[in-house]
Amino acid sequence: MNTSIDKISLIFPIVCISFTTGSLLSGFLFNSFDRHLCTIILVFLMGLSVALTPHSTNMYFLYSMAVLKGFSSGAYNNAQVVWIINIWKEKSGPFLQALQFCVSIGSFITPLMNKPFLIDCPINAYIGIDDNSSTIEKSIENSTEFHFNISTGFNYSGN
């Protein structure tokens, strides 16, 4: 895919909007259909979207996989929380905290795992700094923090 940063960056709001939509519609979905069956389908759809995303041949297919991942992730997130509350009732607090703690650990570790697979390219290639920019802007180099922010942003948009 020969694309620009502007077009590829649309993935983030697409995932966020579809995650929110999945979260909002999951209540109606779970009231209308069996929650167990819906959860199985949602997990399958998440796996399918993750498996097909690297094989995207055009931007529309990539965007559709982002919508599928976001919607199914949002609905599945609600299913997890509802199940924890149904199982442990008023004692569910520590279990909900443990769930969010695990999500936080995963969001922290993922960018660190991705770093070795990213190309070493100065950040100014990503943000469009030209040679006439100030020395402060030019001093920004490719760093783990930059990749951490990108990867974590994607993780939070999908969780």
> Is 1 found in the same domain as 76?
yes
pLDDT in tens, 8-18: 888 989 999 99
Residue 157 has pLDDT above 90, yes or no: no
> Is 152 found in the same domain as 81?
no
Q: Which domain holds residue 24?
A: 1-88
> Is 113 found in the same domain as 60?
no
Q: Which of 43 and 138 is assigned the larger pLDDT? A: 43
Structural domain count of the chain: 2
33, 61, 88 - which closes a domain: 88
The mean pLDDT value for 100-122 works out to 80
What distance in Å separates the CA atoms of residue 66 and residue 110, rounded to the nearest whole number?
18
CB 159 within 8 A of CB 103: yes
> Is 81 found in the same domain as 58?
yes
Average pLDDT of the chain, as a whole number:
81
> Is 78 found in the same domain as 7?
yes
3 pLDDT band (50/70/90 cuts)? confident
Residue 41 has pLDDT above 90, yes or no: yes
The mean pLDDT value for 103-112 works out to 86
> Is 27 found in the same domain as 60?
yes
Label each residue of the chain as H, E or C. Answer: CCCCHHHHCCHHHHHHHHHHHHHHHHHHHHHHCCHHHHHHHHHHHHHHHHHHHHHCCCHHHHHHHHHHHHHHHHHHHHHHHHHHHHHHHHHCHHHHHHHHHHHHHHHHHHHHHHHHHCCCCCCHHHHCCCCCCCHHHHCCCCCHHHHHHHHHHHHHHHC
Of 20, 9, 117, residue with least CA distance to 59:
9
> Is 17 found in the same domain as 2?
yes
> Is 79 found in the same domain as 28?
yes
Q: Which amino acid is it at 110? A: T
Residue 130 has pLDDT above 60, yes or no: no
pLDDT at 121: 60
